[in-house]
A = this chain, B = another copy of it.
Amino acid sequence: MDLRERFKQVRADSKRFCEPLEVEDYCLQAMANTSPPKWHLAHTSWFFETFVLKTFARDYQPFHPAFEVLFNSYYNGIGAQHPRPERGLLSRPVLSEVLAYRQHVDQQVEQMLDANDHPQYARIAELVELGTHHEQQHQELFFTDIKYSLARNPLYPAYSGEPAPGGGASRPLTWLEHPGGTVDVGHRGEGFCFDNELPAHPVLLQAFALADRLVTCGEYLAFIDDAGYQRPELWLSDGWQQVCEQDWRAPLYWLGEGRDWQEYTLYGLLPLDLERPVAHVNAYEADAYARWAEARLPSEFEWEAVASGHELQGQFADSGDWRPAVATAKEDTQLHGGLWEWTSSAYSPYPGYQAAEGAVGEYNGKFMANQLVLRGGSCVSSRSQLRNSYRNFFYPPDRWQFSGIRLAQWR
């Protein structure tokens, strides 16, 4: 797809995903880590305005002088930022103003792309492409954030007014064997990638096996019923501390405590579907489950070594189902889409890693501490944002992402 088309489509997707919302939902921020829909809509525009229009457009007039601070997420190189936990307090600008901001930015960017006469056009195109991938990441966050915020409402409102699609029966789990040895990881070739996927380099693996699908809710329920949340020997110490302090007994959106489990979904409250992959577990839960199951979490390189042999297909944001789908067919490995998969790998720079120059270089490198890599994408990712070398990253205690469990074992 050509860049101009991609830009228009991604920008349209952001608005399309918001369509089911009420105006009142656009300011919701139920915790500091999540952002209101209106803020996502504005910040993704801010990205193009800041890195493209303000830098390269002739005589550019900023849409609003205060937006540079209000919608800066974390770019210290640009300047001050509105405090993250207070994004939900920005009732103004109202939604219609934010939509006007988007339109303003869209027109200017499209005009630059159409004209195609800027002496630094190549750099502009690079940044616009980066901006579309950035916006797709925020589309994912939009889904995870609005799910989290709506779930705090005792009315458990649905994001989607459509009926929830049915699932099917999960097939038995088998193992994908890998002999180990030196494998290449990271991005090679022409297409877009983030700086954190570079440089490609070899790593040395021991022989291992990956489960050929994700862990299901039914399997996870067996862990719960086997006192999984009461047995410290199954848990990492930091995880056990959180289990105790926060009295966790099930994944984030499970309700009912054993009597008629229900799950909050983007369709509202539904009976728990035991066949679907277990979602919204954090790294501690994933690790404890794996230990209980006499397995472990894969490293990000093990995942990539296996995934590189598979085409990038699966359940993405255009699947028509806002829940992770059941693996019914043998060939459906769920490696791509469905749920992000926790790995055991710390989010670290690859050998020789260089962050991009300037403020845009704050995108990835400065977050390489205390986080783990997740791989593969989820049912709220867009297919066109993903690659086998794509590295997502969250903190071990985070539960609000569409994150699941893939098991691994030594061989």
Please list the residues of chain A having a beta carbon within 8 angstroms of any beta carbon in chain B.
Answer: 22-28, 30, 38, 66, 69-70, 74, 76-77, 82, 86, 88-95, 149-150, 152-155, 157, 182, 201-204, 206, 232-233, 235-240, 283-284, 287, 344-346, 348, 351-352, 362, 366-370, 396, 410
Closest-CB distance, A172 to chain B (whole angstroms): 26
Determine how close the nearest CB of chain B comes to the CB of A59; give it in whole angstroms.
Answer: 25
Query: A74-B237, A155-B66 known; A24 and B26 CB under 8 Å?
Result: yes
Cα of A66 to Cα of B235 in the assembled complex, Å: 27
> Bound state CA distance, A284 and B235, in angstroms?
27
- Measured CB to CB, the nearest residue on chain B to A361 is B233
Our pick among B66, B82, B155, B203 for the contact of A93 (Cβ within 8 Å) is B155
If A66-B155, A370-B370 touch, whether A348 touches B346 (CB-CB below 8 Å) is yes
The answer to whether B284 and A86 touch across the interface, beta carbons within 8 angstroms, is no
A90 vs B153: C-alpha distance when bound (angstroms): 6
The smallest C-beta distance from A279 to any residue of chain B, in angstroms, reads 21
Report the bound CA distance from A82 to B204 in whole Å: 44
- Whether A366 touches B237, Cβ cut-off 8 Å, given contacts A24-B27, A203-B204, A348-B346, is yes
Per the bound structure, the CA–CA distance linking A238 and B346 in Å amounts to 14
- Distance in Å from the Cβ of A378 to the closest Cβ of chain B? 23
A203 CB contacts on chain B under 8 angstroms: 204
Among B92, B204, B236, B370, contact of A204 (Cβ-Cβ < 8 Å)? B204
Contact of A344 among B27, B283, B348 (CB under 8 A): B348
Name the distance in Å between A238's Cβ and chain B's nearest Cβ: 5
